[in-house]
């Protein structure tokens, strides 16, 4: 699958990419660039569904892309309700599709 990222923006100019890293999404490893929004890495990898709503189990993904709508919430490193459009990628992150409100992983002693 061809992936796309904006590298030259008419207002922001040239976009600097971080170093290439790998992250895990629902058990599958994908490539990303450190510091880019998690949502950007997922969209570049062809992932469009980030969570499912609580009552109607409807799929949601990026909507506002500025941290206001919560449609992009996912479980990141065991923490639910993380807005992936404003959360930067770090190497080795483990990201899961969120269903409903999400449940945090058990705290390790």
Report the residue from 49, 63, 100, 103 that binds ligand FES according to the rule CB under 6 A: 63
| SS3 at position 37 | strand
Neighbours of 12 (CB within 10 A): 8
Report the residue from 18, 24, 52, 62 that binds ligand FES according to the rule CB under 6 A: 62
Residue 81 as a binder of ligand FES (CB under 6 A): the answer is: no
Neighbours of 64 (CB within 10 A): 13
Residue 51 as a binder of ligand FES (CB under 6 A): the answer is: no
Per the CB < 8 A criterion, the answer to whether 74 and 97 are in contact is yes
User: Which range in 8-16, 17-25, 59-67, 96-104 contacts ligand FES by CB under 6 A?
Assistant: 59-67
Q: Which DSSP letter does residue 68 get?
A: S
Token pair listed for 103: 């449940």
- For ligand FES, which is the closer residue by CB, 32 or 72? 72
Q: Which residues bind ligand FES (CB under 6 A)?
A: 62-65, 67-72, 83, 85
């Amino acid at each position: 699958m061809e992936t796309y990222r904006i590298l030259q923006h008419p207002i922001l100019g040239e976009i600097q990419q971080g170093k290439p890293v790998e992250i895990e999404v629902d058990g599958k490893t994908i490539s990303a660039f450190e510091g880019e929004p998690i949502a950007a890495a997922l969209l570049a990898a062809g992932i469009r569904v980030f969570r499912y709503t609580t009552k109607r189990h409807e799929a949601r993904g990026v909507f506002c892309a500025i941290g206001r709508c919560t449609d992009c919430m996912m479980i990141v490193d065991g923490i639910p309700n993380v807005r992936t459009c404003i959360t930067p990628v770090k190497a080795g992150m483990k990201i899961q599709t969120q269903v409903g409100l999400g449940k945090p992983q058990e705290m390790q002693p």
